[in-house]
Amino acid sequence: MALVSTASTLRKPLDRRTFLRGSGALLALPWLEAMAPVRGPGERPLGFVCLYVPNGMLPSAWVPKGEALSPTLAPLAPVQDRCVVLGNLFHRESRAGEGHYVKLSAFLSGAPVRRTGGRDLQVGTSLDQVLAQRVGRTTPIDSLVLGIEPPMNRVDMGYSTVYGAHISWLSPTQPATRELSPRAVFDRLVRWSSGARDAQRRAVLDIVREEARTLHGRLGAADGHKLGEYLAAVHALDARIAAFEGKRRSLTAEAPADDAVAFQERVALMLELVALALEAELTRVATFMFGNAVSGRDFSFLDGVDGGHHHLSHHEDRPELEAQYARINRWHTEQCARFLGRLARTSEGDSDLLARTVVLYGSGLADGNRHVPDDLPLVLAGGPFRGGRHLRQTALTPLCNLYLSIERAFGLADPSFGDSTGELQGLA
């Protein structure tokens, strides 16, 4: 049996130019069907991925009429039978607060967001991090939290722009650290798949943990809370090293080149890295932000588009602007479709990677022109859910109902999630 070639895992989405051949990256054994025991999808761990698009989607181009795909969703055609287009879901709490920040930062929690320029930030632990903390400890990397754009440094509408840069929250008061460099993400995947051992590393952590403990006793409540971030971090890192050092994982890929590549290529790289990590079971949870809240990214690289994302999202109901906004929306769906196709083509025994990955794609805003957080544009793909459907709730329903359903799919038995009123009707 020949080894699966390195190139074969670099499926279409990646431009060859963005990879360096023979760059010294680790080439471990890929997951070999011939060598693996026959296992159904239920026996490999279920994963969760959220692909977040800022600035909303033009409803008239997004909402499908009946079961047929809408113009914005048309790129999903090849994987349509694996997708559920969701309608009439909303976050009640995101109606409070103007603009984008509340809708983005609470997208995966549905929690109320405290308006502040810095002190006493508060959102809610996001679904991905709940899963990372409850089921993600079985993989070397509890979650990948990826993005493209660094945060801005101003206060906007009374909100620190921390809010606009994070959909993943470790706790109600702490965003998960994002990684913005595809190359650095790759290096980390390689590190955790190599199984290298370093006993001295833990000795160093022992010293600093002890110093943090002693210090904690000398701090007041607020600073003690802040130092709690450090204590939790050093504890978790030490535990992870103890659990996974010496355990090799299969990872087959070549290192991406440095990060000075175009936006489109960076997006493709990040999505491929998510796929690789899921495939190698390096992680079960990932989020990816195409951009931050109010992203003004120039989309003039698309035919017929002339201008920035946020600006075009304020289309003022003018057809020529709506068309450009919808074209940007469709570009995002194209990337999502490619990612879903990549997972679907990754066969695992008689199943595939998409069958054990729940993918949520969408935005926390409906129409960018109005900042409305009702009837959010959402697609649920993969995992145990039956696809090929447009599942529209008859009345506005908490998006957290979907999150409760996802939790249940992961075997978590919480009675509720956020403002959920029950599992999502019609999903199972």
Find the shortest distance in angstroms from Cβ 53 to other proteins. Answer: 18
Among residue numbers 367 through 386, which ones bind other proteins (CB under 8 A)?
369-372
Residues 6+ apart with CB under 8 A from 210: none
Residue 153 CB neighbour total at 10 angstroms: 7
CA distance 19 to 269: 9
Measuring CA to CA, which residue among 278, 270, 274, 269 is closest to residue 250?
278
- From the list 160-168, 248-256, 355-363, 413-421, the region that binds other proteins by CB under 8 A is 160-168
The residue from 30, 41, 136, 151 that contacts other proteins (CB under 8 A) is 151
Interface residues for other proteins in 285-344 (CB under 8 A)? 296-298, 300, 306-308, 311-312, 314, 316, 321
Using an 8 Å Cβ cutoff, are 374 and 396 in contact? yes
Write the binding mask 112 to 141 for other proteins: x where contact by CB under 8 A, - elsewhere. -----xxxxx--------------------
Range 25-84, binding other proteins (CB under 8 A): none
Report in angstroms how near the CB of residue 412 gets to other proteins at its nearest: 21
CA distance 190 to 182: 12
Per CB under 8 A, the segment of 83-91, 195-203, 243-251, 272-280 that binds other proteins is 195-203
Torsion of CA 407, 165, 262, 378, to 10 degrees: 40
**Position among 1, 35, 38, 221 found at the interface with other proteins (CB under 8 A):** 221
**Contact assessment for residue 21 and residue 346, using Cβ atoms and an 8 Å cutoff:** no
- 10 Å CB burial of residue 92 (0-12, 13-18, 19+) is middle
Q: Is 224 in the site for other proteins (CB under 8 A)?
A: yes
Q: Is 145 among the residues that bind other proteins (CB under 8 A)?
A: yes
Q: Which of the residues 247 through 286 are near other proteins (CB under 8 A)?
A: 259
Q: What is the DSSP letter of 179?
A: B
Q: Which is nearer to other proteins, 312 or 378 (CB)?
A: 312
Which of 43, 223, 350, 414 binds other proteins (CB under 8 A)? It is 223
- Minimal distance in Å, beta carbon 284 to other proteins? 15
Rank residues 11 and 314 by Cβ distance to other proteins and give the closer one: 314
Measure the CA–CA gap between 274 and 284, rounded to whole angstroms: 10
Which one among 37, 66, 217, 415 touches other proteins, defined by CB under 8 A? 217
Supply the minimum distance, in Å, between the C-beta of residue 120 and other proteins. 7
Q: Is 157 in the site for other proteins (CB under 8 A)?
A: yes
**CB 142, min distance to other proteins, A:** 8
- 393 part of the interface to other proteins, by CB under 8 A: no
CA distance 120 to 27: 45
CA pseudo-torsion sign 171, 172, 173, 174: positive
In SS3 terms, 9-49 reads as HCCCCCCHHHECCCCCCCECCCCCCCCCCCCCHHHCCCEEE
Contact 36, 273 (CB under 8 A): no
User: Residue 196 interacts with other proteins (CB under 8 A)?
Assistant: no
The Cβ-side half-sphere exposure at 171, using a 13 Å CA radius, reads 10
Q: Which of 79, 86, 123, 176 binds other proteins (CB under 8 A)?
A: 176
The interface region with other proteins, picked from 25-33, 63-71, 150-158, 386-394 by CB under 8 A, is 150-158
Q: How far is the CB of 60 from other proteins (least distance, A)?
A: 17
Q: How far is the CB of 188 from other proteins (least distance, A)?
A: 7
Backbone angles phi, psi at 235, to 5 degrees: -65, -45
**In one letter, which amino acid is 224?**
G
The partner residues of 348 in beta bridges, in order of sequence, read 351
Q: Does 5 bind other proteins (CB under 8 A)?
A: no
Q: Which of 69, 237, 257, 261 binds other proteins (CB under 8 A)?
A: 237
